[in-house]
Structure 1
């Protein structure tokens, strides 16, 4: 069922503690194409717009001395960001080839989908959901 008000997710914004490390992770390791990159001098902040295949975007920001994220596992607020993949195995092999630790694959008891978690450079939980 579709919402009569909302058309989908336009973007998700992430604040990085080390902009260059996170830029490399999202662009080079995860392979998200860069739409635009802007230095916002008044804020001493970079803004990087990255494209996802469905048309949505990730906005990656840098800010001087951002506060730490609340601890896992179940802090109030955004819980995790999930990416849909056609097959887990090649993505897991790619992540592991870049030294990224990935949790064991599990099966969601409600959907029957296989999934797993890994983290971005700041520990933001990222999920892969297999939907062939």
Structure 2
């Protein structure tokens, strides 16, 4: 029945600032950008490398999202990365505040969090590729 997540939708407070963050800093490719004039809203479709998408919306005066303390509902959006140290260094070089790296107590994987321009918690989760074992004989 369900195959994968198709997209995550994010409402931002400053469309140009968030568009810059998701395209220039995170490197997502623009699929489509449309002004929905009747709703005074921009909709930006962004491609994730695995085929998933992020839809970035702007609306006039959206209320802030409660992030702390953690509220009911979607907790955060996580992105898989091959090299967490390199991804963190890239974000820090762009002026993004990145939390200290932690280790998942159950999987042993390393991860960290950083905010988007509206404080939405985003996670980087390191997924190491298995190295094939070869036998010589």
Q: When the two structures are superposed, what TM-score results if normalisation uses the length of structure 2?
A: 0.91
Gaps of 5+ in 1: none
Is 1:30 the counterpart of 2:26? The answer is yes
Is 1:115 the counterpart of 2:111? The answer is yes
Post-superposition CA distance 1:36-82 (Å, at most 9, x none): 00000000000000000110000000000111101324111110000
Query: Aligned runs of 1:49-60 on 2, under 5 Å?
Result: 49-60=45-56
- 1: CA distance between counterparts of 2:69 and 2:111? 17
SS, match of residue 110 in structure 1: coil
Aligned 8 A contact 2:112 2:125 in 1:
yes
Root mean square deviation, CA, Å:
0.7
- 2: CA distance between counterparts of 1:78 and 1:43? 24
Post-superposition CA distance 1:8-28 (Å, at most 9, x none): 100000000000000000001
Structure 1 stretch 119-128 or stretch 69-78: which is displaced more?
69-78
Q: When the two structures are superposed, what TM-score results if normalisation uses the length of structure 1?
A: 0.95
The ranges of structure 1 where at least 4 consecutive aligned residues each deviate by more than 2 angstroms after the TM superposition are none
- 1: CA distance between counterparts of 2:76 and 2:120? 7
Partner of 1:84: 80
Query: What is the aligned residue count?
Result: 128
Partner of 2:133: none
Gaps of 5+ in 2: 129-137
